[in-house]
Amino acid sequence: MSKKEKESYSKQDEKHENLDFSKTGYSNSRLNRHKMSPLSPKLSFDAMTIVGDLNKNNAKKLSEFISVDPQIRLWDILQTKFKAKALQEKVYIEYDKVKADTWDRRNMRVEFNPNKLTHDEMLWLKQNIIDYMEDDGFTRLDLAFDFEHDLSDYYAMTDKAVKKTIFYGRNGKPETKYFGVRDSDRFIRIYNKKQERKDNADIKVDSEHLWRVEIELKRSMVDYWNDCFNDLHILKPNLKAIDNIKERAMIYLLVHEEDEWGNLERRTKNKYRKILKDTSEIDLTDLMKSTLRANEEYLQKQIDFWQREFRFWK
Q: If you write DSSP's letter for every residue of 81-96 in order, what string do you get?
A: EEEEEETTTTEEEEEE
Q: Are residues 75 and 128 in the same domain?
A: yes
The verdict on 84 and 208 lying in the same domain is no
Closest CA to 249 of 239, 238, 257: 239
Q: Could you tell me the residue range of the domain that residue 256 belongs to?
A: 144-289
Same domain for 173 and 109?
no
Residues 150 and 282: their CA atoms lie apart, in Å, by: 13
Task: Say yes or no: 120 and 152 in one domain.
Answer: no
Per-residue model confidence as pLDDT tens for the chain (314 residues): 444 444 443 444 433 333 333 333 333 333 333 333 557 899 999 999 999 999 999 998 998 898 899 999 998 888 899 999 999 999 999 999 999 999 999 999 999 999 999 999 999 999 999 999 999 999 999 999 999 999 988 999 998 888 888 888 777 778 899 999 888 999 999 999 988 888 887 777 778 889 999 999 999 899 999 999 999 999 988 898 899 999 999 999 999 888 899 899 999 999 999 999 999 988 999 999 999 999 999 999 999 999 865 444 44
Q: 104 and 171: one domain?
A: no
Q: What single letter denotes the amino acid at residue 218?
A: K
Tell me the Cα Rg of the chain: 23
If one counts every other C-beta atom within 10 angstroms of the C-beta of residue 39, the result is 15
Beginning with the edge strand found earlier in the chain, give each strand of the sheet holding 91-96 in spatial order: 72-78, 81-86, 91-96, 108-112, 42-53, 134-147, 211-218, 186-192, 174-179, 164-168
CB atoms within 10 A of CB 276: 21
Task: Give the end of a domain, one of 99, 132, 165.
Answer: 132
Q: What is the pTM of this model?
A: 0.81
102 within a domain of the structure (yes/no)? yes
Q: Which of 132, 167, 186 is the last residue of a domain?
A: 132
Count how many domains the chain has.
2
* Shared-domain flag, residues 219 and 119: no
Considering the domain boundaries, does residue 41 fall inside one?
no
Which among 96, 137, 90, 149 is positioned nearest to 118, based on CA atoms? 90
